[in-house]
Amino acid sequence: MAESDESIAHQMRKLRRLRVQRHARSLVSTLAKRFNFDDKIRGIELGVEEGRTAEAMLACFPRLRLTAVDCWTCGTHTTDWTQEQQDNNLVSAMLRIRQYRSRVRLLMQTTDDAVHQLRRGRYDFVFLDANHSKEGVAADLKNYSRLLRKGGFICGHDYGGVGDGTGRFGVKPAVDEFCEQNKITNFYRDPGSLIYWFRLDNKVVP
Ligand SMILES: C[S@@+](CC[C@H](N)C(=O)[O-])C[C@H]1O[C@@H](n2cnc3c(N)ncnc32)[C@H](O)[C@@H]1O
């Protein structure tokens, strides 16, 4: 474990003050098991929406450099937002992460397009939470796993949730297929928050 239980508890109190959602708290504690809060980390968030999870990560990891990707357009697979709501989400995200702007690169693009602007082998983690269709998740896993440095890890949201159960989402089937193809054995998930994570090189990371 990279951080002590005491410092994780301190960050969790900070997150309660920010009123972040359960999955963001779970993500931060997952990151805290692999990185120290003052480590230099490069991460990517796919799907930013109102910037709540981005804010949580940036608040807890003061040396995190985050590339945040969202197209903020209506008609994406996962959300029912109108364009007006998406515009509002973008404004909310910008306001939330404004104070961290020196550490954030915001890419207003689809994940398929944004990947071409990012260097391979550079990132410590990628958090997948954009297009939740099976095809979308499969493409993001394939494209963004190439950007990770050795030992970097993949995490994401909505694995095995209601959306997967009804067939509206395809997160679980896409992730399971990717893990099977890449012989991933160190797969973990937090059923309460629907966060999952694994390392590509199969090193143990509970
Ligand atoms: C579930 S929300 C993200 C929530 C955010 N990660 C959080 O924890 O607060 C999904 C977001 O992904 C974006 N999105 C969906 N498909 C996308 C795509 N193909 N490329 C970029 N963004 C996409 C939507 O605009 C929406 O804002």
CA distance 112 to 10: 37
Instruction: State the pLDDT at residue 77.
Output: 77
Model confidence band, residue 7 (pLDDT cutoffs 50, 70, 90): confident
Tell me if 193 CB under 6 Å of ligand 1: no
Mean pLDDT of the chain: 91
- 190 backbone dihedrals φ, ψ, rounded to 5°: -110, 105
Range 187-206 burial, b when 16+ CB lie within 10 A, else e: bebbeebbbbbbbbeeeebe
Give the nearest ligand 1 atom to 45 CA. Answer: 6
Q: Read off the DSSP letter of residue 168.
A: S
Q: Is the CB of 71 under 6 A from ligand 1?
A: yes
Contact 163, 171 (CB under 8 A): yes
Residue among 27, 104, 18, 22 at smallest CA distance from 69 = 104
Domain range list for the chain: 5-200
Quote the CA–CA distance of 6 and 99 in Å, as a whole number. 26
H/E run at residue 45: strand 41-46
Q: What is the pTM of this model?
A: 0.94
Residue 169's beta-bridge partner residues? none
Mutate to test the pocket of ligand 1, among 21, 22, 70 (most ligand atoms within 8 A of CB): 70
- Is pLDDT above 90 for 141? yes
| Ramachandran class of 195: left when φ > 0, alpha when ψ lies in -120 to 50, beta otherwise | beta
Name the token pair of 38.
């003052």
Class of domain 5-200: alpha beta
Instruction: Specify the higher pLDDT residue, 172 or 203.
Output: 172
Nearest atom within ligand 1 for CA of residue 24: 8
pLDDT > 90 fraction of the chain, expressed in percent and rounded: 77
- Determine the distance separating the centroid of ligand 1 and the alpha carbon of 46, expressed in angstroms: 6
- Going from the Cα of 169 to the center of ligand 1, the distance in angstroms, rounded, reads 13
